[in-house]
Chain A
Amino acid sequence: MDIISVEHLSKEYREGEGVVRALDDVSLTIGQGEFLAIIGSSGSGKSTLLHLMGGVDRPSSGTVRVNGEDIYQRSDEQLAVFRRREVGLVYQFYNLIPVLDVVENITLPARLDGQEVNERRLASMLRSLGLERQEHLLPNQLSGGQQQRVAIGRALLNSPSIVLADEPTGNLDSKNSAEIMSLLRASNRDLRQTLVVITHDENVALMADRVVAIEDGRIVSDERRA
């Protein structure tokens, strides 16, 4: 079943006096539980596509359907709810809230949703992430790898149906990169979460079920791996 369906999606940005077409009539479907890698050169439109799929930005034209529903028909309030319940976002530069500690950063979407935090699940998450001893440390007290693990924990705690990761290993060494991808893959397999990863890393691309290449805002190739 297709969980994400992108139809004729376009996005334009104004830059100075000109207009940049970051995405140009892109159409794509992603099945539930699929691990999709998006590759392409810098400025090709990968991140734009990812953010539009996550409801973080608004397209200039086209639709993004999640579970059959056009998410951009929703109000801003509904879109916020969508982001905190159905999507998990992981960024290259971690993007943690510097004044919140590890636990607070991880539980941020849940608390924004007004939910009671499941302490057992949280404890299990911290163990999986290897952060049991860093619960109350602030981001500036953690290493890069640890910060990215916090970001992953934040993305996964609510068990979203979609996890979107924008170069999650871009700022990490190989060891940490492998650990991070291992966590994401495990979540994808075990919980049948749809995982979309933007990457420059060949190893990451090789782990995916499907690789889509984007160039100048258009999909130039879409390969399923056996």
Chain B
Amino acid sequence: MAGILSRFTLRSLRRNRTRTIVSIVGIVLSCALITAVFTTVSSLEKAMERATVLTEGSWTAFALQEGEADLDPLRADERVGAISVARELGEAKLGEMQEAHLGSWLALRELPVAAGGANEEAQRLSVPLKLSEGRLPTAEGELVLSSSMRGLKPEGGGVRADEPLALGSRLELDLGRRTRDGRVVSSLSDTILARDHDDPEFVSVEDDQLSQVLTRSYTVVGFYETGYGGLGTDVGASYDDQVAFVSPGGPGSPTASLVWASASGFSNIDELESWAKGALGNDVYLHNNLLRYQGVYGTGVVWKALWEFAATLACVIAVASVSLIYNAFAISVAERTRQFGLLSSMGASRRQLRRAVFGEALALGLVGIPLGVLVGIAGVAVTLRFTQEGFDALLNAKGVMGLHVSAPAILATIAFSLLVLVVSAWLPALRASHVSAIDAIRQTQDVHVSRGLARRLREGRAGKGPFGMPGILARRNLTRSSSKGRVIVASLAVSVALMVTGGYLAQSLSVIVSGGAGGVDAAVGEADLIVSYYGQGGSGTLAEMDGYLRESQLVFDAARGVEGASDVRSYRSFSTGILLPPNSLRTDLRPEGGADDGVGGLQVAADGSGAGWANVVVPDSESWRLICEAAGVDESSESIALNRFTSYNEDGSSTVSSPLATKGEAVLVLAERSEQNLRPSLSLDRDGKPVAVYYRPAQGGDEAKADRHTVPLDEVSQQQEPLRVAALLDEMPEGLRWMHDSSSFPTYIVSPSAYERIAGVIFPSAARVGLNVADSGQAAKNLDEAMRSVSLSGDYHVVDIAGNARSTRLALETMTLFCLLFSLILVLIAIANVFNTLSNSMLLRTREFAMLRSVGMGPSAFRRMVVCECASYALRGLTWGLALALTVSYFLYRATELVQRGIGFSLPWAAMGAACLASAAVLGTSVAFALHKGHASNVVEALRTDAI
């Protein structure tokens, strides 16, 4: 059997090349799209693995070992790729003055060195220290400290310096072995690495003892930025200690060793954990983030969701593809009904006939699937090339996104595509095997007349309607081939829906990126770069204030010195206690009695008075002028209150309010410090009377053990200064909105000239300078270098707003591009379906058209008939498609309403217009093609020729 029916199948395919090509194109498109979806996900997975290695290191296991590390078992293990180790040489106790900010201990640690495997691989195991200043230690007697110690003068403990720490400073350390209950502990002993998890109590590191103490001197050659990567990733990780680094290979035996190792060949996390504990000891920490991407540590919530999303997309593609391919087979079988009937009458069994159709599917699949896989992979490769920047932004790592073809994913694609083919061919195959030989032999097929038409025929109304006989013929044909019509209309509707929804998606993302009050580009409109400076301490002493003013001015000057900088605006912010008189706050915010939690940093009393923390912002002169202009007051005014407070609700939404009821006068209060040198906060007692609250957090952050006591304000020594508020302003003027965080309330903008008077009652918070510049990325780098060169004691932070916005825009554009490409290919599949169905439907009627011509139907009447039919398909397809698209678009709008920040739903007119034009184009092309193909040289020839 196989031979003759195979020939029958293959020759039938060759005979109707157009339908065969369209079917293959459909298979290629669907297979390519499925390949693209899976390949994109596997590439993304690989990229995230690379990004993780880049940002967190390539280590698999990180361990803490007591004393000198025992690495022989590791070195002998074939599964181990590389090993590096950092020895901890001891600890020194920090003085009490530094404890609050730096912790209780300073650990001395060597920089990691390769201890096994290839050097290059070993160096990638952990993320190297990022220097903010200076260089790494290379000789004995040199060390680098965390940048949080810069500018401090440690004293009163086992860490001492004669001057505030800077490059070149001499540091003396009383280094020893830290012990607790006779056991040696290290800077990592109290982390999850080594803590006994059953013990709920936090240990008191202050009670640890130091033994075998030796005093050593070091020269500070550099400062490093404190990392946030955590255990294993951050070489400076510790429980609560400062860590200083020295060059490896120095004298002394270590108190502990930190070991990083990479390993492979494990199928699951339990196997890896068991091996790691055996090879490295119990105090081992696994790199779950990386193991997740390597397939060892489950799939995680995110990856499960991503592969499920990919599988869902594959199913959507499958539905579209099955529709096209099924239709192609259905047409193929329908056109060869006579032949299948003949074969049945000749003795072909049902199984043989089914196999003929499946053989056709296989033949098409053998061509389409490999081609589809190649096209899919190539498509992803090309797309990734053009979206590299976007993925860099999405992944927050440069150059990690590349094409990664996963063999299991390709096999899954091939299997899935074959399944789609089988499913598509199933019903047509069944139909072919059940073809009535009699219908085939008789060459007749009953014309099925709908009930409506039958009724109209009986009532004599069927022969009436617009467009005359051509219109009647068109309407009858639409009734006759209703199943084909439904396919055409459905495919058209799907393609219209996809085009319009895709257009809406692109439009919305454009709004999110560029427009709206909170759009990505809105932030850029304020300032391209913002530098924040945070003064040291916060204790409010004069020395601190002078240092803050001096150093913040250095920051401002550095910003003004950036080449090409424009619109440079700056401000200094301060914190202070504040008392507001009665009726200052809105009635609806006042409690019925006593005081409540209030609003922002204020507690509110029943009479509308308030007490709490306030922010004081002192802008530069030009900014002050603009703010006065916006508030409608004179520049000689003393202050303006920002009457805007944004609170965030549990569901993630936000509420903006204007809590202040009147301008007038506020009182700034600086109360005396506590014995522990802590500044109190202001509040109200139950009767609404102002109080000072002294608060000391407990060690380990246990709220229940925090120390808190309240003193009536009039019993506390304090300084007060009145502040005249000239106006309430709802919002900072455009260009200066970056100066105000509306979740911080209350905020008072104070004139530069009024600052001197209130300087005694405020203490430094942060200073900021914003500027516009063409190349924000380069300017950010230049500014960073300029900051380092001025040797600030406080911290600073440069934010490339324009760069971040660019990254966000790129990320969104990349996502949009993928969505649009996906939609486009689905549109092509749907259009192919329309083309296939309509053109074949027309081809089947070649003889009928010839007959109409033979009885005198002229070209214009013929055109009218065809146009009527196509117009019906177009109207129905567009109606359903637009309805579906607008429904989906509205739901998309509702889902992203919060992100779109109050922008109303708008119709994607451009996409709708494009969909209408595309529908007309595809219908017109299908018909033109079919009519051209079916046009016989003469009527007789057409009447004789088989339609196939």
Contacts and interface: CB of A to CB of B under 8 A. Distances in A.
Interface of A: 15-16, 47, 51, 54, 56-57, 76-77, 80-85, 89, 91, 93, 95, 97-100, 104, 107-109, 111-114, 140, 154, 166
B305 interface: no
Contacts of A56: 344-345, 437-438, 441
Interface string B614-653: 0000000000000000000000000000000000000000
Given A84-B346, A99-B7, A112-B347, 16 more contacts: A16-B446, A56-B438, A57-B437, A77-B350, A80-B347, A82-B347, A83-B346, A83-B347, A89-B345, A95-B338, A95-B342, A97-B8, A97-B342, A98-B946, A104-B4, A104-B7
A146 to B, nearest CB: 16
B12 interface: yes
A16 B948 contact: no
Contacts of B587: none
Interface in B435-457: 436-438, 440-443, 446, 449
B15 interface: yes
A111 B1 contact: yes
Contacts of A104: 4, 7
Contacts of A89: 345-346
Given A80-B347, A109-B346, A97 B437 contact: no
A223 to B, nearest CB: 28
B348 interface: yes
Contacts of B343: 97, 108, 112
16 contacts: A51-B437, A57-B436, A57-B438, A76-B350, A80-B348, A80-B350, A81-B349, A84-B346, A89-B345, A95-B441, A97-B8, A99-B8, A109-B347, A112-B346, A112-B347, A154-B346
Contacts of B437: 51, 56-57
Contacts of B350: 76-77, 80
A80 B437 CA distance: 11
Nearest to B437: A56
Given A97-B8, A98-B339, A99-B11, A112 B446 contact: no
Interface of B: prevailing SS: helix
A99 B437 CA distance: 19
A108 B61 CA distance: 70
Contact of A111 (B3, B344, B438): B3
Closest 7 CB pairs of A and B: A84-B347, A99-B11, A111-B4, A83-B347, A80-B349, A56-B437, A57-B438
Nearest to A155: B346
A16 B351 CA distance: 31
B352 interface: yes
Contacts of A108: 4, 343, 346
B8 A51 contact: no
A140 B1 CA distance: 24
A89 B342 CA distance: 10
Interface in B1-58: 1, 3-5, 7-8, 11-12, 15
Contacts, number: 87
Given A57-B437, A95-B342, A113 B347 contact: yes
A157 B271 CA distance: 71
Nearest to B351: A77
A140 B94 CA distance: 102
Nearest to B439: A57
A114 B8 contact: no
Contacts of A140: 946
Contacts of B948: 98
Contacts of B441: 51, 56, 91, 95, 166
Contacts of A15: 446
Contact of A93 (B4, B352, B443): B443
Contact of A114 (B1, B446, B449): B1
B457 to A, nearest CB: 11
A165 B4 CA distance: 24
B348 to A, nearest CB: 5
A51 B346 contact: no
Given A15-B446, A56-B437, A112-B352, A99 B347 contact: no
Contact of A97 (B3, B339, B443, B449): B339
Contacts of A57: 436-438
B847 to A, nearest CB: 14
Contact of B15 (A47, A51, A99, A114): A99
Given A97-B342, A98-B946, A104-B7, A16 B449 contact: yes
A187 to B, nearest CB: 18
B2 to A, nearest CB: 9
Contacts of A114: 1
Interface string B94-109: 0000000000000000
A33 B344 CA distance: 26
B4 A51 contact: no
Contacts of B449: 16
B349 A77 contact: yes
Interface string B535-566: 00000000000000000000000000000000
A100 B346 CA distance: 14
A203 to B, nearest CB: 25
Nearest to A86: B347
B901 to A, nearest CB: 63
A104 B8 CA distance: 10
A77 B859 CA distance: 50
Contacts of A81: 347, 349
Nearest to A113: B347
Given A15-B446, A56-B438, A100-B7, A80 B344 contact: yes
Contacts of A47: 442
A11 to B, nearest CB: 10
B345 A100 contact: no
Contacts of A100: 4, 7-8, 11
A68 B110 CA distance: 103
A184 B436 CA distance: 27
B448 to A, nearest CB: 9
Contacts of A91: 441
B433 to A, nearest CB: 9
* Interface-centre pick from A57, A93, A95 (highest chain B CB count, 10 A): A95
B349 to A, nearest CB: 4
Contacts of A51: 437-438, 441
Interface in B326-350: 338-339, 342-350
Contacts of B339: 97-98
Contacts of A76: 349-350
A71 to B, nearest CB: 13
A214 to B, nearest CB: 17
Nearest to A82: B347
Nearest to B353: A80
A154 B436 CA distance: 20
A112 B1 contact: yes
Contacts of A97: 8, 339, 342-343
Nearest to B14: A99
* Interface-centre pick from B7, B347, B449 (highest chain A CB count, 10 A): B347
A112 B443 CA distance: 23
A114 B348 CA distance: 11
A83 B7 contact: no
A168 to B, nearest CB: 13
A166 B442 CA distance: 11
A154 B4 CA distance: 14
Contacts of A16: 446, 449
Contacts of B349: 76-77, 80-81, 112
A118 to B, nearest CB: 16
Nearest to A107: B4
A37 B434 CA distance: 31
A83 B441 CA distance: 14
A57 B440 CA distance: 11
Nearest to B3: A111
A97 B7 CA distance: 11
Nearest to B15: A99
Contacts of B3: 111
Contacts of A82: 347
